[in-house]
Structure 1
Amino acid sequence: MARYYFDLKNGTTQRDHAGLEFGSDAEAIARAYAMADEARMRPASHHSHERHICIIHEDGHEVTRVPVDVTASKASTPRFKKLP
């Protein structure tokens, strides 16, 4: 198990000082997507900046960034075309 920290960045950084333990990067990333869904419901403090959750592994490396504002991200683009 490793501890992962989930910092919210949107022009400023809201640091996660507690973190959560997960068995893999994939589990931490799944949690970050759930957190992004929750954060999407709250208004942004800096509207000129894209919001994202930055996942930091306990060893200090950045695992990935998960967009909060999906409309500003390519993550909202469908990956598959539905066949007729």
Structure 2
Amino acid sequence: MQTFYFDRKDGVPIRDRIGKQFSSDAEAIEYSKVLAAHFRKETPAELDLAIVVVSESGREIHREPVHPAADSQATGA
């Protein structure tokens, strides 16, 4: 098992100091999608808000946008 950290980032990161254990990067990434869905319901559409998955070694392994629809509207996609 590895410990992964799930930071919130919207310009200034809010660091996860506790983390959560998963057996693979893929499981941690799936969990970041659950967190993003939770924040999507709780926060207004902040274009920069993302859940950043960080491995126990400190390496960013994934960035999950909380409001991906807002991101595509901003870029015209």
Query: What is the TM-score of this pair, normalised by structure 1?
Result: 0.77
Corresponding residue SS for 1:41: helix
**Aligned letter for 1:59?**
S
Computing the radius of gyration from Cα coordinates, the structure with the larger value is 1
Shift in Å at residue 73 of structure 1?
Answer: 3.9
| Unaligned 5+ runs, structure 1 | 75-84
RMSD: 1.7
Task: State the match for 1:7 in structure 2.
Answer: 7
4+ residue runs over 3 A deviation: none
Higher share in strand: 2
Query: What is the TM-score of this pair, normalised by structure 2?
Result: 0.84
| Unaligned 5+ runs, structure 2 | 73-77
Equivalenced residues, count: 72
Corresponding residue SS for 2:11: coil
Higher share in helix: 2
Shift in Å at residue 70 of structure 1?
Answer: 1.8
